[in-house]
Amino acid sequence: MTSTSSARTTAPVATSTITAAASGRWTLGDLPVSRVGFGTMRLPQTGEALVPRAVPRDRAAALAVLRRAVDLGVNHIDTAAFYFSPLRSANELI
């Protein structure tokens, strides 16, 4: 009986910062928008998404993440009315 083993291949971990600006832009209406956006669903909390027992994220840390995204060229921030924890809303942070 012949045994074969298959090695699982994973993508290499990036060791450098990739900016949204490097991904290019497209036009939305009359505005240039980066192709890489920032989703804010998990921004206001840690742990599982959209559960009552989630832990609110530190406000300063959440704001630092948003600022870093903008520094990297993100100008499309995905948000929705239900992206919130009981104590904080992603919209309020933005």
Residue 3's contacts (CB-CB under 8 Å, 6 or more residues apart) are none
For this structure, is 49 an active site residue? no
Q: Which of 38, 43, 83, 85 is catalytic?
A: 83
**H/E segment holding residue 61:** helix 59-71
Tokens 């300063």 correspond to 60
| Catalytic machinery residues | 83
